[in-house]
Structure 1
Amino acid sequence: MATILLIDDDIEVLSINKKYLSGEGYTVYATDSPQKGIAYAKKLKPDCILLDIMMPQLNGYEVCHQIRQFCSSPILFLTGKGSEDDKIEGLTIGADDYIVKPYSLRELKARIDIHIRRAAHVNTPQNDNTLVFHDLTIDKLAHKAFYQGEDLMLANREYEVLLYLASHPNTDVTFEDLGIALFGFYQESDRRSVMVNVSRLRKKFEGNPTLEHMIETVWSKGYRFIVN
């Protein structure tokens, strides 16, 4: 069964989540220390990480940033900070999902399962393992993208955005299409999250003339991956 790492300075929240998720069959490790959480993530390479934001010494954004230096496991923020700016910062820093407290434990489990399945699917070998567009190469097995042979160093979400768009070249991809591909579900409030993830990918394309114009915005609808 999957391994889950919980990092939260609220002992009661840790206890409730650990008890519930353990009862659902997960192997659960929990800590109220951000520093220990980073060490556990490095040692355990868990299948999913649940991370609080408001913690002493190191906040969740900094913990997420540090974990992303060595671990690509899905990271879900569980937090009372529910403003749009908070969510955007969390997604931009490298999180895969953002869940505002209080939340349903059943929904939490559903989201964990979605992200674990997606991560497993991404790492599963496929028959057609490479997409090539001029100087851009997408290696599905390695979960990486290369421009003129140089690794673009994409985060998980950036890679998933690119792979989905590149798999539908010269086609209008709606916000809903991309949202479902990224999160497994979509509601209109998810549009901003989709836009943030596309923006993060575009920043990785900056300075590469061939790439900068490959993703076009389709006004009020979504995006188009341009291949000439």
Structure 2
Amino acid sequence: MPKVAYSEDDRERIKTELVTVGLELMAKQGIQHTTVEQIYKKVGISRTFFYSFFATKEDLIVETLYLQQPKIIEQVQRLMADPALSWRNAVKQFLYACCYGEKNGIAVLTIEEQQLIFKRLSKESYQMFRQKQRRLFGEILESFGIKADAARINLFTNLSLAVMVVRRAIPDTLPFFVPEAADETVDFQINAIVDALEKLKTAPAS
């Protein structure tokens, strides 16, 4: 007989499990290819019960992105502390891991997903998202040994997301790009970003 009453602790546990499973699936097979049904079935609850936690799939996606932020910081710090890696190689490995997130357990939003989520977020939720995003990219810069002022965080955010989004967009969303050169394009962009970061590392913050 199905359980019909859940304590607050039960609900909190189930919500955490939904977000955790959602992140695992989205990181592995992509956000667009992950369905609400896959998530709630893996957790073992009904569709109706799922929607008592999240009004839309987009609400769940935002929570998964928040969940993976500390994991991303841990990965950065682990790479930077690896004595076998130079500073440059550690930074490059991190950026590659993000660009090819499906191979590394990192969920990355496509252009279409960003647009859809932006349309669904309330003004307050959007502000919260941007605040958490700024904090994440600021912590990444600090982990790189770079003083993270507002201008540097903004630039690093745009440069990082640009290479991740373009890589995910070739060839479906950007059909006039050359898919055969996609990996080489990512490599070029990452090297350019690391060059810029290396200069910031020795330059005083404004």
TM-score (structure 1 length as normaliser) = 0.28
Q: Which has the higher strand share?
A: 1
**Higher alpha-carbon Rg:** 2
Q: Which has the higher helix share?
A: 2
